[in-house]
């Protein structure tokens, strides 16, 4: 098939499209590709904030979609396909990533945001080559993305509502389908149209050309690395057939878009590159959207913290929607400044803005009001008043050490417990975080064989209560500093099973540890350097009876960590740098620590998105 020489390279391979998108299937089969469709079951819920750019998010999602299918197929038949293709399309505007709307209201919010403006559409693509090595799946990933800019006309509310009622937006990134009715919303498109529809065919073919048709030595076309080879270059397709793994072209440079993790870094663009028609075109470096977002990111955090501190979300939960002037009056602030803060919160997706005024988004109602079950309000206020200040001295900490950076403000304990007010601030922050993760930690392993547990540094008892709720036979002791236990009463849940949780004041480094079958250390060890961790574990080990256990929960990386989580955890050493004490440890390292202190049968399990839990059983000495 002369029209698709590079696609032809895949004809003899078992190719799988890891996508349920009918558009992707259509684009690729129209291009002559033969493939099996196995929709990915990968849940598209990577933490967007942990990616430096929206494109990196799309690429990682595409990669995870493809890898999930490769692993599942290999597991099922012990035979993976030769190639798995994954893709993910997102829309970005004003720093926000829009995916498929969850309901009509969400579609309306998305389309209103895009109305009259220009936005970017990114599709991340992953081409995964699979092979079997001694029964184990081996994968090599080439990934890339393409960006297209789309401008919407000014659209009336009526038109948007009618469009949403057509049902078209619901399974489409950004809430519109440019190939159908949604085409009427669009004033102009800059870049690859098919990229918007869901698959950047042109860039994909260039990648295949790099993989399967590397330039022959002395071939003048070698310089045109970015172009799909002209048809006449490939009269004899078979002589170049071969796997992509060891191919020097593997991981070559991208086109208008670029490379992401897994491929080689983009090469510096040449002064001129040839386009498909051979015409010379000025090559510009990709616009550094992600970098600019990072440069401005601190303002976004500050806006969120400030709105929390001024209780904007509480006011709107109780009385919203409200106009800026009314909110300003209720929070006792200047109308003009409040207006700007509210605009910023709306742009960050924390508030909705309609003709009736501002109202909370679902996330704000869940997490940013001060008294909800899943509130992170305390964490925002603590980050604003303590962590923010600390991070302004990051340069000093890097240069002169943590002591200098902390200056007169003292050690972490000194700062946190200098007054009842600061202690409570810290406890509220920890309470929100613990409640968020407690259930995942409590259920990561079946702990029903234990009848007593001691949560060391258990703070407000959020995890202790979850353990008591999950395991009816369990009595839990929360062991924490007297400054903490003194204030813990105010955090106790009403009602059931509170009699199964008790608080004992003490310092786990110096005071006798309460007797228990299971010792729990949740988000404790990262605060301490190695010598202190050994000291603590040896104390636990000598209290723990054979058959008893120790359960450690940390934001610990696994060996083959997905890039997103690794990046998120990558910020932790900054905290350690400033506090000058602890450090994050990998799940493997935590397991080795437990083994060193006499715990056997060490197992690791994920606890939600944030934490890993390591459980060890005390062996007979």
Ligand X SMILES: O=c1[nH]cc([C@@H]2O[C@H](COP(=O)(O)OP(=O)(O)OP(=O)(O)O)[C@@H](O)[C@H]2O)c(=O)[nH]1
Q: Which residues bind ligand X (CB under 6 A)?
A: 19-21, 23-24, 39-40, 44, 65, 87-89, 100, 171-173, 176-179, 182, 196-198
What does the DSSP 8-state code read for residue 526? Answer: G
How far is it, in rounded angstroms, from Cα 341 to Cα 347?
A: 10
- Of 77, 82, 88, 365, the active-site residue reads 88
How far is it, in rounded angstroms, from Cα 621 to Cα 617?
A: 12
The β-bridge partners of 502 are 477
The answer for residues whose C-beta is within 8 angstroms of residue 71's C-beta and 6 or more apart is 80, 137
Question: Which residue matches tokens 């149209």?
Answer: 193
Residue closer to ligand X by CB (options 90, 348) is: 90
End-to-end CA distance of the chain: 72
Shortest separation between residue 190's beta carbon and ligand X, angstroms: 15
Residue closer to ligand X by CB (options 40, 210) is: 40
Residue nearest to ligand X (CB): 198
Shortest separation between residue 27's beta carbon and ligand X, angstroms: 9
Residue closer to ligand X by CB (options 45, 284) is: 45
Residue closer to ligand X by CB (options 44, 414) is: 44
Shortest separation between residue 180's beta carbon and ligand X, angstroms: 8
How far is it, in rounded angstroms, from Cα 334 to Cα 592?
A: 56
Shortest separation between residue 42's beta carbon and ligand X, angstroms: 8
What does the DSSP 8-state code read for residue 450? Answer: -
Sign of CA dihedral 28, 30, 33, 34: positive
Judge whether 88 counts as a catalytic residue. yes
Task: Specify whether the CB–CB gap between 88 and 564 falls below 8 A.
Answer: no
Residue closer to ligand X by CB (options 88, 384) is: 88
Shortest separation between residue 99's beta carbon and ligand X, angstroms: 6
How far is it, in rounded angstroms, from Cα 139 to Cα 289?
A: 30
Shortest separation between residue 233's beta carbon and ligand X, angstroms: 31
How far is it, in rounded angstroms, from Cα 178 to Cα 254?
A: 24
Residue 483, φ and ψ in degrees, nearest 5: -55, -35
DSSP notation for 60-84: HHHHHHHHHHHHHHHHHHS---SEE
Residue closer to ligand X by CB (options 179, 311) is: 179
Shortest separation between residue 60's beta carbon and ligand X, angstroms: 13
Task: Specify whether the CB–CB gap between 309 and 301 falls below 8 A.
Answer: no
Shortest separation between residue 45's beta carbon and ligand X, angstroms: 11
DSSP notation for 595-621: HHTTEEEEEEEEETTTEEEEEEEEPP-
Sign of CA dihedral 295, 299, 300, 302: positive
Residue closer to ligand X by CB (options 197, 459) is: 197
Query: Strands 36-37, 452-456: parallel, antiparallel or unpaired by DSSP?
Result: unpaired
Largest CA distance in the chain: 81
Residue closer to ligand X by CB (options 196, 552) is: 196
Shortest separation between residue 114's beta carbon and ligand X, angstroms: 11
Residue closer to ligand X by CB (options 57, 426) is: 57
How far is it, in rounded angstroms, from Cα 491 to Cα 375?
A: 13
453: left (phi over 0), alpha (psi -120 to 50) or beta: beta
Helices (H), 31-115: 54-77, 104-114
How far is it, in rounded angstroms, from Cα 134 to Cα 123?
A: 34
Question: Which residue matches tokens 């829309």?
Answer: 91
Active site residues: 88
């Amino acid at each position: 098939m002369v029209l698709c020489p590079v696609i032809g390279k895949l004809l003899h391979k078992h190719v799988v499209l890891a996508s349920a998108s009918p558009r992707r299937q259509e684009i690729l089969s129209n291009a002559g590709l033969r493939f099996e469709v196995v929709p990915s079951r990968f849940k598209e819920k990577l933490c967007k904030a942990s990616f430096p750019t929206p494109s990196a998010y799309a690429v990682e999602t595409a990669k995870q979609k493809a890898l999930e299918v490769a692993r599942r197929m290999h597991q099922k038949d012990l035979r993976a396909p030769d190639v798995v293709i994954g893709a993910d399309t997102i829309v970005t505007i004003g720093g926000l990533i829009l995916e498929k709307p969850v309901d009509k209201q969400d579609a309306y919010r998305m389309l209103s945001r895009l109305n009259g403006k220009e936005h970017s559409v990114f599709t991340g693509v992953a081409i995964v080559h699979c092979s079997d090595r001694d029964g184990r799946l081996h994968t090599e990933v080439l990934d890339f993305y393409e960006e297209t800019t789309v401008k919407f006309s000014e659209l009336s509310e009526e038109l948007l509502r009618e469009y949403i009622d057509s049902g078209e937006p619901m399974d489409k990134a950004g809430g519109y389908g440019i190939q159908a009715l949604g085409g009427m919303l669009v004033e102009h498109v800059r870049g690859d149209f098919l990229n918007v529809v869901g698959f950047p065919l042109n860039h994909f073919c260039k990648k295949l050309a790099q993989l399967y048709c590397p330039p022959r030595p002395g071939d003048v076309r070698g310089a045109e690395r970015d172009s799909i080879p002209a048809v006449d270059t490939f009269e004899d397709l078979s002589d170049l057939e071969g796997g992509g793994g060891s191919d020097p072209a593997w991981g070559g440079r991208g086109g208008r878009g670029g490379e992401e993790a897994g491929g080689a870094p983009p090469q510096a663009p040449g002064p001129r590159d040839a386009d498909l028609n051979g015409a010379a075109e000025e090559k510009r470096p990709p616009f550094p959207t992600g970098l600019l977002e990072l440069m401005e990111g601190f303002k976004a955090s500050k806006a969120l913290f400030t709105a929390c501190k001024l209780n904007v979300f509480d006011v709107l939960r109780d009385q919203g929607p409200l106009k800026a002037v009314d909110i300003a009056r209720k929070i006792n602030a200047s109308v003009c400044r409040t207006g700007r803060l509210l605009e910023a919160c709306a742009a960050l997706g924390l508030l909705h803005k309609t003709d009736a005024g501002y109202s909370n988004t679902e996330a704000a109602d869940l997490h940013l009001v001060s008294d909800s079950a899943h509130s992170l309000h305390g964490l925002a206020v603590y980050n604003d008043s303590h962590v923010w200040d600390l991070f302004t001295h990051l340069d000093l900490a890097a240069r002169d050490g943590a002591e200098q950076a902390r200056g007169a403000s003292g050690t972490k304990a000194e700062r946190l417990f200098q007054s009842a007010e600061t202690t409570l601030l810290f406890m509220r922050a920890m309470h929100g975080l613990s409640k968020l993760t407690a259930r995942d930690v409590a259920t990561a392993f079946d702990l029903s064989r234990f009848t007593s547990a001691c949560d060391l540094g258990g703070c407000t008892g959020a995890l202790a209560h979850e353990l008591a709720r999950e395991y009816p036979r369990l009595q839990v002791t929360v062991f924490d500093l007297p400054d903490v236990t003194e204030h813990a009463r105010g955090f106790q849940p009403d009602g059931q099973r509170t009699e199964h949780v008790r608080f004992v004041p003490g310092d786990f480094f110096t005071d006798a540890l309460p007797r228990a079958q299971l010792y729990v250390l949740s988000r404790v060890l990262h605060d301490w350097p190695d010598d202190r961790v050994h000291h603590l574990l040896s104390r636990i080990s000598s209290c723990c009876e054979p058959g008893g256990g120790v359960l450690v929960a940390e934001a610990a990386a696994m060996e083959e960590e997905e890039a997103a989580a690794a990046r998120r955890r990558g910020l932790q050493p900054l905290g350690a740098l400033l506090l000058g004490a602890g450090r994050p440890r990998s799940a493997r390292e935590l397991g080795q620590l437990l083994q060193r202190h006499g715990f056997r049968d060490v197992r690791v399990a994920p606890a939600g998105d944030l934490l890993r839990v390591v459980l060890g059983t005390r062996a007979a000495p």
